[in-house]
Amino acid sequence: MANPQDQNDDADDAGSVGEHPPVPSKPSNRIVPDAVAQRFLRIGDRYFFADRTLAFVDHGDRLKVRTHNLEVVHSVVAIMEARGWQTIRVTGTKEFRQKVWHEATMRGIGVQGYEPDPLEMHQLQRTLDRDSKPPSHEPARDRQDKRGKQDKRGKQGKRGKRDAITTRNDAPELSGPSPNDPEPAGSRTGMRPPTVGVLLAHAAAPYQFDPEQRLSYYVRVETEVGERTLWGTDLERAIAESRSDAQVGDEVVIAQRGARAVTVRVPARNAEGELIGDKKLVAQRTTWSVEKAHYLETLERKANLLRTGEVSPVDVVSQFPDLTGAVVGVKLAEQFAQRLTPDPAEQARVVQAIRTGLANAIAQGQQIKLPEQRAHQNPVHHRNRGGPSREERQHSRG
């Protein structure tokens, strides 16, 4: 039987998961739950089934998975949970990413790299509701009487609004800048316009500064219409990872960049408004960016220079040397278009499409690097990779 270590690790994988953002050399990344360790045969950093089929590879801050097997997905998510990963990034096949998203979200781990559809969100919420529902030992008649009393109280006026498990004041801020507007997953929340103003303060604090609420993060800015406070857990990361190093006193642009599904616990109250525990809720957590306004304006100016092509490449590079890679990319695009088609109109269309793609990347702050110079190849050597030519074979016979 072949040694399992001889298997090719470069074979097609189902996908991989890693902590986001990655924290290399973190001591907890060596933790593997006993249940997982006993389930597989371990050789080095690789874990095998009993038949010596490779299941996954543990790189510490990243887990490379070979199969869509649900048992492996459960094990990988158990490892994430044991290592304290709060957010992960998943890559790979759609089936693999969907399975990891479902299992990780069930355990309260945020997932980037998979966008669930409304049906998946609804199914996940039903599963959470079913799992969090305590078993009832009351006789059916008693439960019916109690339900009738609660319905009656709900009709007595505004007090009935407290019957909902999660109210506006109970839910943590997850989906937008308005602190009173958290929405459960699956709701149709549009992206709000960016907020522009001078950064006054930012810090962690109880949501809406209410000591009874969960810890969140706020950013306060002075806008043209007055001070505004935005709430969102991801704002802390956005400021820490600001590419322009936004600081208090800078004019900044705070923008939503999307949302990801997370599982949170929210207070559960009875008909009288009394706290009776908590409940799992699938919600959308907004992701943010916080950048200096001048930085974004410069990015857009660079992008427009490349997008329009109205300024000569020499002048573009003279004004912005960091656009050298993008300018070279456009030149290569022109050469490619000429080889692709003799039609000038079609050539122009291809080049403009590549221009637009490069410009969009620059507007998002991406650095376009110079293409790596290809190693010089000896024509004879290159030809001989497939064996000697017929002329060479004839010459050797002579």
Q: Where are the domains of the chain?
A: 4-114, 162-292, 309-363
Instruction: Judge whether 191 and 287 are in contact, CB under 8 Å.
Output: no
Full DSSP string of 9-55:
TTS--SEEEEESS--TT-GGGG---HHHHHHSEEETTEEE-TTS-EE
Is the pLDDT at 164 greater than 60? The verdict is no
Averaged confidence pLDDT in the chain = 75
Pairing of strands 110-112, 87-92: parallel
Nearest CA to 177 out of 253, 234, 231, 256 is that of 231
pLDDT digit string, tens, across residues 199-249: 999 999 888 888 877 788 999 999 988 899 999 888 999 999 999 999 999
pLDDT digit string, tens, across residues 349-381: 888 888 888 888 888 888 888 766 443 444 444
Angle between the 344-363 and 324-340 helix axes, to the nearest 10 degrees? 150
370/241 Cα distance (integer angstroms) = 25
172/164 Cα distance (integer angstroms) = 15
pLDDT digit string, tens, across residues 39-69: 899 998 999 988 888 999 999 989 999 988 8
Query: 326-339 burial by CB neighbour count: b if 16+ within 10 A, else e?
Result: bbbbbeebeeebee
- Cite the beta strand spans of the chain per DSSP E: 15-19, 41-43, 46-48, 54-58, 62-65, 87-92, 110-112, 195-206, 215-223, 226-231, 251-269, 275-292
Full DSSP string of 198-261:
EEEEEEEEEGGG-TTSPEEEEEEEEETTEEEEEE-TTHHHHHHT-TT---TTSEEEEEEEEEEE
Sheet holding 215-223, edge to edge: 226-231, 215-223, 195-206, 251-269, 275-292
| Beta carbons within 8 Å of 1's beta carbon, 6+ residues apart | 52
pLDDT digit string, tens, across residues 87-116: 899 999 999 999 998 888 888 888 888 888
Q: Which amino acid is at 347?
A: Q
Q: Is 129 exposed, middle or buried (0-12, 13-18, 19+ CB in 10 A)?
A: middle
pLDDT digit string, tens, across residues 239-284: 999 999 999 999 999 988 776 666 766 667 777 777 777 777 666 6
pLDDT digit string, tens, across residues 198-212: 999 999 988 888 887
Nearest CA to 360 out of 303, 316, 289 is that of 303
Find the distance separating the first CA and the last CA of the chain, reported in whole Å. Answer: 50
Q: What is the pTM (predicted TM-score) of this model?
A: 0.45
Share of the chain above pLDDT 70, in %: 70
118/186 Cα distance (integer angstroms) = 6
Q: Which amino acid is at 360?
A: N
Per-residue pLDDT averaged across 15-32, rounded? 86
DSSP SS3 for 373? coil
Per 3-state DSSP, what percentage of the chain is helix, strand, and coil (rounded to 5)? Answer: 40, 25, 35
